[in-house]
Chains A and B, each alone.
Chain A
Amino acid sequence: MLKDEKPFRAAGQASATFESEARPWSTPGEVTNKVTSVIFRDTPLWWWFAFVVSLGLLGLYVVMFLSIAIRGTYLWGINVPVVWGMGIVNLIFWIGIGHAGTFISAFLLLMRQHWRGAFSRFAEAMTLFAVAVAGIFPLLHLGRIELFYYILPYPNTMILHPQFRSPLVWDSLAILTYATVSLIFWYIDLIPDLGAMRDKAKRLWVKRAYGAAAMGWRGESRHWSALHRTAYMLAAIATPLVISVHSVIGLDFAVAQVPGWHHTIFPPFFVAGAIFSGLAMVLIFAVLFRSGFGLSGLITDNHIDNAAKLMLVTGLIVTYGYLIENFAAWFTDHDYEVALAVERALGTYAPLYWGMIISNAVIIQALWFKRVRRNNTALVIISIFVLIGMWLERFVIVPVSLSFPYLESGWTTFQWTIWDVLTIVAPFGLFLVPMLLFMRFLPLLPIHETQQVAIEEGGHE
């Protein structure tokens, strides 16, 4: 049992007047029933509809992937100097989305913010699937995919190792680490719930399936003890990953000397941006699950409120990043930075740049107001804008900066093709299919943690 009850008492009491649904699910058993009931009922129609659409997108994704892998990267709108396009933009976008999950699971766990429990399960799942989507892009964007393993330090007769000064090598190691740790962390945390599912299951084969996955969990106190120790240890490993992985992505650009990339603020700026976009995605899911599955007792207004505040904070950091970029260009009078800043804001890409500013810096200011933070529709709309805005930010950083190299004779714009649009849209299929399957077959909330939260907030033992 965890000791830090005071902050939650206060939070629970303060929000008591808002919570009308919290009461009926205050007992651990009721929590379990509520969460598992989502799974053990018949598949709702909307799920089938969403699944079919996602499968369609997944099919498009397979077509896109195979085409680009087999026919070549020329299908994209990239050229020299805009050598990085949709492959990299979407890579950063999807990893960024994943970061909120780890932040919620690991970071907030270490900081003993137990309200995170409302989000942690599906946020972590979201991380996992987002990283899976993202991880394919570094492969896909290679000129010679079949030789991708050159980037890994494997023993070989040529006694060649990767060039460790390159951020791409750090990238490959960071993403692999991140994926592995996320997977393990997510799974370990899932085990008690899998046990609960096994106990609740009616049909024998379902019972056996969940049982195998639960790996013999019986809820004994030593199991719990081992679980907590492992979870905290994994959280301790995963937490620095939140910072390091996206810092490394940021370093991909900061290490390069391209105007618009060579900014020392990029590592923290990218991390904040990643959590920002990830929280937006989390919020969308959270709001949808609340209403869709009637889980507002477990995902309370307070929880949403906190997540929204976090989103505002990270959004403000991102806004600071935009301001600093332009200030630095002006202050240092670095000719190329100034040229880029001007072209970025006033050139052919201006609509995209200003779209980014409005989505990321302006619209989120509404989150200062409690009324907005408590309004589901507003949150979903703001979150969608944030997602769009963060995608635009990656576009502004990658192809737009590359369009304006030092020597003006090389200035060339990104040339949109249908394959670029596919590369943006189709990965949603790869993300949503496992997400929908997860929603259908695995508990959306961590049962044991939610029980704790409900007990603490409800005042029961």
Chain B
Amino acid sequence: MVHQTHDRDDYDFPETPNEINLTEMAEEANFQAMLEEYPRQAAAYQYSGLSRRSFMKIMGASLALTGAGLAGCVAEPPDEQIIPYARQPEEIIPGIPLFFASAMTLGGYTTGLLIETQEGRPTRIEGNPQHPASVGASNVFIQASILHLYDPERSIEARKDGQSSDWETFLEELAGVLEDAGDGAGLRILTETVTSPTLATQIETLLENYPAARWVQYEPVAQDNAVAGSRLAFDADVNTVYNFAEADVILSLDADFMSSMPGSLRYARDFMDRRRVREDQTEMSRLYALESSPTITGATADERLAMKASDVEAFARALAAALGVDAGDAPQFAPWPEEWFEAVVADLEGSSGSSIVIAGPEQTPVVHALAHAINAALGNVGSTVTYTDSVVASPVITTEDLAALTEEMNNGDVDALIIIGGNPAYNAPADIAFADALEQVPFSMHLSMYADETSQLSTWHIPSTHYIEEWSDGRAFDGTASIVQPPIGPLWDTVHSAHEILAALNGTEGTPFEILQANWESNYEGDDFESFWRLALHDGVVPDSAFEATSPSLRGDLASALGEAGFGQSAGLEIVFRPDATIWDGRFANNAWLQELPTPLTKVTWDMAALVSPETAEELGVVNEEVVALTLDGRTIEAPIFTQIGMAPDTIVVTLGYGGDITAQEDAPSNRNVYGMRTTTNMWHGVSVRVENTGATYNLATSRWVEDMPETDAARAGTLRTFIDDPDFAHIEHSGGANLIPPIIYDGYAWGMSIDLTSCIGCNACMIACQMENNIPTVGKEAVESGRDMSWIRIDTYYITEGETVETRFQPVACVHCEMAPCELVCPVEATIHDHEGINNMVYNRCIGTRYCSANCPYTVRRFNFEKYASELPIMQEYRNPNVSVRVEGVMEKCTYCTQRINMARIAANNENRLIEDGEITPACAGACPTQAIIFGNINEEDARVTRLKEQPHDYGLLEELNTIPRTTYLARITNPNDALHGSSEEG
């Protein structure tokens, strides 16, 4: 949604009624008329000014609602029975949230999650500990997805040729089209990647009914190269699942497996579980990473090599040859340091069966095939690398599929095109003129959440449901199936799901729930479907649904299949296309949280920047914020330059998703659309890009990363060898520590936190989680530029250059709850005080906004509400956490250790006459973190996890020399570099 700083008085709301008589309301003549004419306004009318009590009455009086024909306009549970998750009482109790297990699909693959609802309203999303792809964690996309449910700019109106219409009219027209369809020769259905068993079954049925019809899949960030690589290696479609928990040595061939691959959350957790260095545990994996663009996997790696994207294939070939894999000759040129290569070979050979070579989805199919061959040669298959059947229902090369479809459309062979989701008119490759072809199709329909480019060119636009409000299912990276269970029915009467569309096409009756359940029941082979169903809904995981391991065999003629290594080193600049770390392929462009989130590593917010290394920038003669025109094969886009330290040479990285119609950014420049440049032959990188300085400049709003560790030595790090030799390496002698004031004794609970810098991968999940939990507003690009962003927790990023290598250190910084807090000393009105459990409290209603506390905070963690940032649109208030005040302008705010969660745990414990147990309280940031880098607990408890972590020798406090005695301390970052590559052992 467009960022709002002030009210938008679009709606004319009535006074808050103390009693809402729904029947009377429904009977009012003009109310009915209003419902029919302006469904959006009617729904908003219902939300306006509803007190919690009134809302409860509506919940209870849902019958009256249904009778009046208003079903679906309020957030009431679906008519079907849904099963809440975990330890909840029978009824809804105001103030006690209910959690429902569900799942979200991105790129086709689902990740399980829990949706927290307050009085029936979904307010938060967090990970599902029982789901293999989530293991309790979540990423920024999963968490921020809740905003799209409540987005006021979401499409809720069916449109035909640009005019508003309705579902019934669509069904009529569709029926007519299907009558003439015959065997379906002119019928095409275009979806994104599908793993949903039910949707796949429905499409199968469609193809059976219309044998000549075709099912096409396309999305801009698809696993095409993996599919092609699998076919190249095995002559079959296989799905690869990695077990990082067993891996000692990992080589990433441009694979950002910790953030942007299916299963990333799980991989990050498993990877880090092999790196929890403690006093009594000093075994650590080693990660070698090749990267062509800045990724958090590369930043976390022990040994990182920035390399041009086109050189990765040569490296893979050379590696295969060196490991004795029969996959062709090594290439003639080797644009990488020889000792680096030797080190990788040596380490991989030394860890057969416990190593992983993983190819990035953006790398060529040859690289994927080689990775399979190398893993086989190293004996990893069956231990760290497992193959299963394809999780995707019908694996295809999506660009080929789309190209074929577009040709048919251009030839007039397509009479009816049903597009489910996606936005192909915007994000099709530039050499597939899908948008033009779409105009040729006589009858087309686009089901989507926004009236985007594709919807505008289609005959029909049907507004789509959000996954939180309609039934579906899907499969995760390892095949595990989940039922997408909605805690609420659709917010609007007019939105529909893909299952409804397919049902209409197939002529089947039933709601999505019925279709879903019927599909599962038909495939169920046990005797108690009811219990099975209830368990699946409760846990969010269909039990035992992970795919079995298969044993595909490499094709015998792999070497010849892979072709020649021939080509020479590419000259000139290369351009690399990557999904954006905050808006993915553009589908989240209307999400203000994600737009304002600083991109990991570059810290750019709101815009897309063309990233280059400082050396390349110098060669090109450009500086930050200068706009350049990038031309590849005659196609041009413009982007502001941003220099990123440590990047691959002669490479420009641009990200997908910008320049579209639907965006939360005001005055967004339109010539940033990378899809206008990306072709089927250059989906992920292109050689010989031309760069021209346009002479214009463009302001980029960025947070600040730091080059070289300043004297503060805020983020301390050492190698594993250093830690073994000198476990106290992270302690720095300093004067001070003397105190005139006697220390305060904390009996009872003493809350504290420990953050492991080894585990932090800089993914920003904690930032979004905090924003969601604490009702933190977005402020807009201009305010971020001025330095007024509102994040309570941020990831400080330090780049330490040593010779050729650049080491990256991430450090999450939020209020550290100093026992001797400088802020408390200087607040004139006692608006910030210390409580008896050690938390530095912020009393919003006492704050008069002198801002002295913010000046005196050495960590710069206090945020001030310079304006009234919180939107007052009723729909935007729905997802706010009712347990946290929304701050007005003029008051200070900061991290509170999620004091509302502490209080809830305390209430529960008091009611049960017991103490709060370790692990009962999880602040939002700790809960979201994929690698469990943040641990919270009671430091007075001897065996609490946090206490044991604080006893580690490499535990230290940020800026402890200022005598602040912080409750949040850090474990110094420990890496496991290869000594052979660094001469003698040294401090990292």
* Chain A interface (Cβ < 8 Å from any Cβ of B): 72-74, 77-84, 141-145, 147-148, 150-151, 160-163, 165-169, 172, 252, 255-258, 335-336, 339, 402, 405-412, 415
Query: In whole angstroms, how far apart are the Cα atoms of A415 and B846 in the complex?
Result: 28
A256 touches B822 (CB 8 A): yes
* Chain B interface (Cβ < 8 Å from any Cβ of A): 703-706, 710-712, 714, 783, 786-788, 794, 796-797, 813, 822, 824-830, 846-852, 854-856, 858-860, 862-868, 888-892, 959, 962
Query: In whole angstroms, how far apart are the Cα atoms of A165 and B860 in the complex?
Result: 21
**13 A–B contacts from the bound complex (CB under 8 Å):** A72-B867, A142-B848, A142-B849, A143-B890, A166-B828, A258-B858, A335-B712, A336-B711, A336-B712, A407-B712, A408-B704, A411-B704, A412-B787
Q: Is the interface of B mostly helix, strand, loop or mixed?
A: loop
List B contacts of A79 (CB < 8 A): 786-788, 866
A166 touches B848 (CB 8 A): no
B852 touches A81 (CB 8 A): no
A257 touches B858 (CB 8 A): yes
Q: Which 3 A-B pairs have the closest CB atoms?
A: A143-B849, A143-B890, A79-B787
Partner of B848, one of A77, A147, A339, A408: A147
Query: In whole angstroms, how far apart are the Cα atoms of A99 and B323 in the complex?
Result: 82
B706 touches A408 (CB 8 A): yes
Query: In whole angstroms, how far apart are the Cα atoms of A78 and B859 in the complex?
Result: 18
A168 touches B787 (CB 8 A): no
User: What residue of chain B has the Cβ atom nearest to residue A163's Cβ?
Assistant: B830
Distance between A125 CB and nearest chain B CB, rounded to angstroms: 30
B891 touches A144 (CB 8 A): yes
Q: Which of A145, A147, A172, A255 is packed against the most chain B CB atoms within 10 Å? A: A147
A143 touches B848 (CB 8 A): yes
List B contacts of A256 (CB < 8 A): 822, 826, 852, 855-856
Query: In whole angstroms, how far apart are the Cα atoms of A406 and B964 in the complex?
Result: 13
Query: In whole angstroms, how far apart are the Cα atoms of A335 and B714 in the complex?
Result: 13
B710 touches A143 (CB 8 A): no
Q: Which of A80, A81, A255, A257 is packed against the most chain B CB atoms within 10 Å? A: A80
Query: In whole angstroms, how far apart are the Cα atoms of A258 and B856 in the complex?
Result: 6
Distance between B365 CB and nearest chain A CB, rounded to angstroms: 41
Query: In whole angstroms, how far apart are the Cα atoms of A397 and B940 in the complex?
Result: 42
Query: In whole angstroms, how far apart are the Cα atoms of A163 and B711 in the complex?
Result: 34
Partner of A83, one of B786, B830, B848, B851: B851
List A contacts of B863 (CB < 8 A): 80
Tell me whether A150 and B712 are in contact in the complex, defined as CB-CB below 8 angstroms, given that A74-B866, A84-B855, A409-B794 are known contacts. no
B867 touches A83 (CB 8 A): no
B866 touches A144 (CB 8 A): no
Q: Which of A143, A150, A165, A255 is packed against the most chain B CB atoms within 10 Å? A: A143
B788 touches A81 (CB 8 A): no
Distance between B257 CB and nearest chain A CB, rounded to angstroms: 27
List A contacts of B788 (CB < 8 A): 74, 79-80
User: What residue of chain A has the Cβ atom nearest to residue B855's Cβ?
Assistant: A83
B813 touches A407 (CB 8 A): yes
Tell me whether A406 and B866 are in contact in the complex, defined as CB-CB below 8 angstroms, given that A72-B890, A150-B846, A339-B710 are known contacts. no
Query: In whole angstroms, how far apart are the Cα atoms of A258 and B826 in the complex?
Result: 12
Query: In whole angstroms, how far apart are the Cα atoms of A170 and B547 in the complex?
Result: 71
B855 touches A258 (CB 8 A): yes
B822 touches A339 (CB 8 A): no
Query: In whole angstroms, how far apart are the Cα atoms of A252 and B855 in the complex?
Result: 11
B848 touches A257 (CB 8 A): no
User: What residue of chain A has the Cβ atom nearest to residue B788's Cβ?
Assistant: A79
List B contacts of A252 (CB < 8 A): 852
List B contacts of A84 (CB < 8 A): 851, 855
A73 touches B856 (CB 8 A): no
Query: In whole angstroms, how far apart are the Cα atoms of A150 and B846 in the complex?
Result: 8
Query: In whole angstroms, how far apart are the Cα atoms of A252 and B828 in the complex?
Result: 11
Partner of B829, one of A77, A82, A83, A163: A163
Query: In whole angstroms, how far apart are the Cα atoms of A172 and B828 in the complex?
Result: 10
A74 touches B867 (CB 8 A): yes
List A contacts of B856 (CB < 8 A): 256-258
Partner of A166, one of B714, B827, B849, B890: B827
Query: In whole angstroms, how far apart are the Cα atoms of A84 and B864 in the complex?
Result: 12
Distance between B135 CB and nearest chain A CB, rounded to angstroms: 30
Query: In whole angstroms, how far apart are the Cα atoms of A167 and B855 in the complex?
Result: 13
A144 touches B847 (CB 8 A): yes
Distance between A345 CB and nearest chain B CB, rounded to angstroms: 18
Query: In whole angstroms, how far apart are the Cα atoms of A336 and B865 in the complex?
Result: 28
Query: In whole angstroms, how far apart are the Cα atoms of A13 and B622 in the complex?
Result: 73
User: What residue of chain A has the Cβ atom nearest to residue B710's Cβ?
Assistant: A408
Tell me whether A339 and B849 are in contact in the complex, defined as CB-CB below 8 angstroms, given that A151-B829, A407-B860, A411-B704 are known contacts. no
User: What residue of chain B has the Cβ atom nearest to residue A161's Cβ?
Assistant: B830
Query: In whole angstroms, how far apart are the Cα atoms of A291 and B873 in the complex?
Result: 64
List B contacts of A77 (CB < 8 A): 786
B852 touches A168 (CB 8 A): yes
Distance between B443 CB and nearest chain A CB, rounded to angstroms: 52
A142 touches B850 (CB 8 A): yes
A169 touches B828 (CB 8 A): yes
Q: Which of B706, B786, B824, B889 is packed against the most chain A CB atoms within 10 Å? A: B786
B787 touches A415 (CB 8 A): yes
Query: In whole angstroms, how far apart are the Cα atoms of A169 and B826 in the complex?
Result: 9
Distance between A303 CB and nearest chain B CB, rounded to angstroms: 41
